[in-house]
Chain A
């Protein structure tokens, strides 16, 4: 029930395309859903995050869509650029403190995005 399933594992798009990465979860207690971007040999960097009280959040070219009833959320990258080529991770967490395991992020396994010129 703690899993976050992410797809696809890899994605190739042309410059200007709109890659979409999907995640699904089971634990209905999750109430915080961040996306991280990771370049090779670097630590992940927080890209954008959403809470379940909204269905969509945009920050620049990055948009999260959230479907609470389906327990799914996705990342869309508008006008993708070669510099967006990286591995993207979705994650989920609960915000309520409940002893062991509190605030832990559960990560998807990642999607390697390649944007070709």
Chain B
């Protein structure tokens, strides 16, 4: 899990509620990413941020929002507009220079009923 923490590990919400997933890193990495993982679907990119106060939509951004006010933090909000929010959510980070390796956090499993 390296220096990336995600909390909580499990999260339960009722349909129609917004929920925010936390991601913090102490690796001094510039770039941070959010992925969604569903069985048999691999990892799909939701949002990413190359630097503070800037972020870009990934392949499946609809129904999600993010902020990047601090280098260490990249929270993801799953809004009520997300049609099928139940999934395993993974945060990752990458150094801004040198190798392109992305390092992942332990993930948050969100269940919406």
Contact = CB atoms under 8 A, between A and B. Distances in A.
Judge: A and B partners, yes or no. Answer: yes
Interface of A: 6, 9, 32, 34, 36, 41-46, 49, 89, 93, 95, 100-105, 107-110
Contacts of B44: 107
12 contacts: A9-B40, A34-B101, A43-B4, A43-B105, A44-B43, A46-B101, A46-B102, A95-B100, A101-B56, A103-B50, A105-B45, A110-B42
Contacts of A108: 42
B100 A42 contact: no
B76 interface: no
Given A36-B104, A104-B48, 8 more contacts: A43-B1, A44-B104, A46-B103, A95-B100, A104-B58, A105-B102, A109-B41, A110-B40
Best-buried of B1, B48, B102 by chain A (most CB within 10 Å): B102
Residue among B6, B31, B101 with the highest chain A CB neighbour number at 10 A: B101
A100 B42 contact: no
> Contact residue range for chain B?
20 to 34
A103 B97 CA distance: 11
Interface string B78-113: 000000000000101010000011111111010000
A33 B6 CA distance: 26
B100 A32 contact: yes
Contact of A44 (B58, B90, B94, B100): B90
B101 A89 contact: no
B40 A43 contact: no
Of B6, B43, B50, B90, most buried by chain A (CB within 10 Å of CB) is B43
Contacts of B104: 36, 43-45
Nearest to B56: A100
Given A43-B90, A43-B107, A44-B90, A89 B100 contact: no
A52 to B, nearest CB: 13
A41 B41 contact: no
B59 to A, nearest CB: 9
Contacts of A110: 40, 42
Contacts of A43: 1, 4, 6, 90, 92, 104-107
